[in-house]
Amino acid sequence: MRNIFTHLTVVLTIANIALGQLFLEQPPINYTEGKNFDDCELRFVTSYDQHESERKLQSWVTNIEVMDLTVAYGGVRAYKGEFQHMAAIGWTRSGATIDYLCGGSLITWRFVLTASHCSVDSNNLPPDTVRLGDTDLASTDDDESAQQIPIARFIKHPQYRESRRYYDIAVVELEKNVIPNSAICVACVWREPEAPEDLIDAVGFGALGFGKELSSTLQKVQLHALDATICAERIPTNRRQMPEGLRDDQLCARSETMDTCEGDSGGPLQTLRYDLLGNIFSFIVGVVSFGTPCVEGSTGVYTRVSSYLDWIEKEVNQSLSYEVCTGVNVCDRKFNRAVAVLVEPKWTNSRVGLLWKETETDIYQCGGLLIDYQFVITSADCVTSSKGPPTYVASSSDSDRAAIEEVFVHPRFTQGQPYFDIAIIKLRKYANLDEMYPICPWTERKHGDWRQVSLLAGATFLQRQSYVTVFNITTKGFGQYYAHGKDCSVGENVADNDLNCISNSDAFIPGLCQVRNVM
C-alpha cells in the first residue's frame, strides 16, 4: 500500500507541473522510443473509444446532409442572420405603409447593389427607403436588429434603357452608413468571369408562385447556373428588348421546382465561400433581372456582377477586392461548423504551426503534425523558404510553444518542385500526452482506404485539389476528404508515385489557395 501511495504522489506532482503545458522539458514517464512507425498505434493507444467517436461524427455529418437536402429545392424560409446583406427596397405610401417591391445586397456600409429596373414602380415613382436585417416584414419578431434608412440616390447604369433588357444593374446610396450587427453585414462581389459550378442561392421577398402575392418573409432557393446556349433556348428573346440576344454580361440559373419571382428583382444570386479560419462570406454573383413565368422548371436571367466591377467600384468610391471585403472584421460572421467540428480535443491537438521568430503571432504561415513525442512532419517547402528554417512550433491554439532543435529535409527535395516535399522537425521539448496526441503516418505505399483524413494535415485547411506525399497523415475521424490517386486536374506529370491527389467539398475564396505551375 505504501508503494502505491508513493507512486500516486509522483504522478500527481508531474500532472500538476504539466497542467496546461503542451510541451514538457523532460520525457514523459511512459516515454518509449520507437524504431519505426509499425508500433505507432500501440505506443500511443488510449482508452478513448474511437469507434464511438466515429459513430458520433457520422451521425453529425448525416444530420447535416439531411438538413441540406431539405432546403435544396423550393422556396424555403430564411432564418435571421442567414443573409446579412439582404436589403428590401421600399416605396412609402399614404398612411406610412411601405411596399417592398425589390431586393438588393449591401456591398458597402453606404451602398446597396440592385437592378436598374427597380428605379421606379408601375406608377413611375422612385423608391425612398431600404430595410436591412429583417426576415419578416409583416412581423416585429426580429425587428430589434433591423435598420430602416432613407435613400439618398438611386444610381442606374448610364447605358440602361427601360425598353431593353441590358445593363440592368444599379447602386443605391443611403442617407447614412449602416451599423453592422448580428443580422447585418456587407457581402463581397464575385469577381470571377464564370459563375460557380456548385449550387447558388437566390434570395428575396418575392411572390411564392406565378400570380401569387409577395412574401412578407425572406425566402431562399438553390439554383444551378445554366450554359448560355441552353439558356438561350429557354428564354424567349424579344428582338426589340434584346436585339443582341443573351449577352456575356448576363447569366441564367434554374431549378426543377422553383425560381425567383415577381418582387425578387434586384435581389442577389449568391454563393458562400470560406477563408482559412472557417469564416463564411457571401459573394454576389448576379442581380435578379427577369425570367420566364415563375413555375416549376422556369429559368431566371441575372445581371453578371463581375462584368460591371469597374463601374460599381467607381460609383461606391471603394475597392471591392476579395482582400478588402474579407478583411472586414466588425461583423458577427457565420462559421463553418463542418470545418471546425471537434470530435475529441486530444485528436485535434496534433496540429502545430511553424514560427520563424519567437515574437511572431501568426501560427498559420505553415503547419505540421506531431507524429511522435518529439517529432513533427511538415512540408520541405515550408522549412526551406527565403526566411530560412523555422525556430519554434506553436500549438494549434498558440497556448504553448517549443523550440526547434533540428530540421531534416528530404535529400531529394528541390525548392519549387512538388516531389519529395517532406521534412521532419525535431523539437527541444516533448509532447505532453495529456494535452496533445501524435498522429500515426500511413505506412502503406498505396493510398488504400483513407477516405477520411484529418482536416489539419499540412496547412490549416486543404483546397479542393491538394497534394500530399504517400507519407500521409491519417486519422479515423473528422472531415471527409477523398483520395483520387493520380487523377489530378493539373496533369499526370505532377501526380507521380510519391504524390496523391485529394479533394474536399469546401469552397474557399477564389485565389486563397493556388496550385503553382511547377513543370
- Output the nine-digit C-alpha cell for 53: 467517436
Q: State the sign of the Cα–Cα–Cα–Cα dihedral 10, 11, 15, 18.
A: positive
Amino acid in the structure at residue 354: L
**How far apart are alpha carbons 395 and 402 in whole angstroms?**
9
**Which of 484, 451, 450 is closest to 467 using CA atoms?**
484
The one-letter amino acid code at 154 reads F
CA proximity to 128, closest of 157, 107, 99, 105: 99
Task: Report which DSSP code applies to 118.
Answer: G
User: Under the phi-then-psi rule, with left for phi > 0, alpha for psi from -120 to 50, and beta for the rest, what region is 82?
Assistant: alpha
Q: Got the DSSP string for 456-500?
A: TSSSSS--SSEEEESS-B--SSSSB-EE-TT--TT-TTTS-TTEE
Nearest one of 493, 518, 488, 514 to 503, comparing CA atoms: 488
Return the closest-CA partner of residue 150 out of 98, 187, 115. Answer: 98
CA 79/CA 96 separation, integer angstroms: 27
Task: Give the residue among 99, 155, 106 at the shortest CA–CA distance from 133.
Answer: 106
Looking at residue 513, its amino acid is C
| Active site members | 117, 168, 265
What DSSP state is assigned to residue 373? Answer: S
